Amino acid sequence: MNISHDYRNSEAYDELLEPGGQPRSAARALFRYLNSLQPGELEARRQSVDAAIMTMGITFTVYSEAGNIDRAWPFDIIPRVMAKSEWMRIEEGLKQRLTALNLFINDLYNEQRIVKDGVFPLEVIAGSRNFRPQCLGIMPRFGVWAHVCGTDLVRDKDGTVYVLEDNLRVPSGVSYMLENRQLTKRLFPEFFQGCDILPVDDYPVQLYDALAALSPRDGERPVVAVLTPGIFNSAYFEHSYLAQQMGAFLVEGSDLMVDADDRVYMKTVSGPRRVDVIYRRIDDDFLDPEAFRPDSALGVPGLMRAWRNGKVGIANAPGSGVADDKVVYTYVPKIIRYYLDQDPIIPNVPSYLCMDEKERAYVLANLDKLVVKPANESGGYGMIIGPRASPEERAAFAELIRANPRNYMAQPTLSISTAPTLVGDCLAPRHLDLRPFILQSSRLYATTGGLTRVALKAGSLVVNSSQGGGSKDTWIVDTEDACYPA
């Protein structure tokens, strides 16, 4: 079969193919290989990999009326490929960004220099739901708050890669990144043998080291626990997977208790056992009913007290979500310049803050071209996609903006990139993004590539697995390598 011949490029930038239909240099070897396969062979391999997903039990949970069900993870077998040279720059940009964000969070909860210097307005945090006054005056180890960050990247029509958002609360998806690589190795073993595709599988060890460095008891092998909301959480598979990979305990709130000595203990059949570090996968609100929501049944009473007194490490630290906010996002380039005195390596999507008079005027005049998002919401609530809205909807939204300008920010509608995806026995372009995971503790680390999420429906921009999204393996390849002749 001749894949690049049959493939019809969309308007958007394609990750694997040039506009003329020729593979980009990083994807050349992959295409030579795909073209060598017999017709029908891709489909056959896809079926065998689907069976493997069932037996390996790679699932995510979907809520439905019939109860919660485990669904097999939707996986597209055609990898997304990126040249190592491009990735190195992105990696550097991701590390730069997280370093600056952590300096920012630490500053906000302590001296607030950035506010005093007039770079960041205080009213933004005053209106932020994720700013936690309970955290004021706390200085966690290394001054780091967000130890695990999932940053969503998209590529626009002209090939520029932008940061779409930073997930600093409980980012998920890394287990699927790891499993996707396992699946691709099964799929194309003969290809892997000859090529320099950079490995991804050191993440669990890196995560363990980052967590272990937070242990309050130096010199002893720390007891690390992954704190999950439980079986009904959609990311439960990942919680259990990471616990297993790190040799950590998988615990729920009710398994933990804080004693009068402010230490955290697990309730085991042999009696209480001290926990040194908690990798929490539940939101701040549900962490500790004494400090946050008193009605939460998921949390551990006294956990904040234990953390504040340095008796337990918590990743990500409570309160780190303050930087996971759409208005704060627009300040990140300034934050990077302020703390690091550097230009941002990866740009933000250009954004307009409606609290600024000039920018608001621009937004109101160009509503038909922009996406407008509320500042403190997440999950796509209360937003408007200008080009897809009716004139009446736009007029109504303009009123909302005028009434509460501080609550809105706007971005141009991006045409996000595509990559060939197997549909039946053919390849068709589908939109995708990339979520790398960055760790910061005693040192910085970024995954090699990350999780590529792909919208499996034609034309769709929604990559979430709960809404018809799937994922691909992400290859960072060394194009200097011998199997990539010019």
Residues binding another protein (CB under 8 A): 55, 57, 70, 230-231, 240, 243-244, 249-252, 254-255, 257, 266-272
From the list 380, 377, 332, 330, the residue with the least C-alpha distance to 351 is 330
Is there a contact between 227 and 284 (Cβ–Cβ < 8 Å)?
no
CB of 65 to another protein, least distance (A): 16
Contacts of 251 (CB under 8 A, 6+ apart): 225, 226, 227, 228, 266, 275
Q: Which C-beta is closer to another protein: that of 36 or that of 254? A: 254
Q: Which C-beta is closer to another protein: that of 250 or that of 385? A: 250
CB of 296 to another protein, least distance (A): 18
Q: Determine how β-strand 426-435 pairs with β-strand 408-412.
A: unpaired
| Inter-helix orientation angle 203-212/174-187, to 10° | 150
Contacts of 252 (CB under 8 A, 6+ apart): 227, 228, 229, 230, 298
CB of 154 to another protein, least distance (A): 34
CA atoms within 13 A on the CB side of 46: 19
CB of 443 to another protein, least distance (A): 29
Q: Which C-beta is closer to another protein: that of 48 or that of 254? A: 254
Q: Which C-beta is closer to another protein: that of 257 or that of 444? A: 257
CB of 54 to another protein, least distance (A): 9
CB of 16 to another protein, least distance (A): 35
CB of 227 to another protein, least distance (A): 12
Q: Which C-beta is closer to another protein: that of 266 or that of 345? A: 266
Question: Distance between CA 347 and CA 116 in Å, rounded?
Answer: 26
CB of 435 to another protein, least distance (A): 24
The 3-state secondary structure of 215-275, one letter per residue: CCCCCCCCCEEEECCCCCCCCHHHHHHHHHHHCCEEECHHHEEECCCCCEEEEECCEEEEC
CA atoms within 13 A on the CB side of 325: 23
Residue 27 is given by DSSP the state G
Q: Which C-beta is closer to another protein: that of 261 or that of 343? A: 261
Question: Distance between CA 257 and CA 300 in Å, rounded?
Answer: 6
Q: Which C-beta is closer to another protein: that of 55 or that of 193? A: 55
Is there a contact between 102 and 440 (Cβ–Cβ < 8 Å)?
yes
Q: What tokens appear for 92 in the block?
A: 């550097």
Q: Which C-beta is closer to another protein: that of 63 or that of 362? A: 63
Is there a contact between 455 and 432 (Cβ–Cβ < 8 Å)?
yes
CB of 179 to another protein, least distance (A): 14
Residue 117 to residues 107, 112, 113, 164, 335, Cα–Cα distance (Å):
12, 9, 6, 27, 12
Query: How many Cβ atoms are within 10 Å of 278's Cβ, its own excluded?
Result: 27
Q: Which C-beta is closer to another protein: that of 110 or that of 245? A: 245
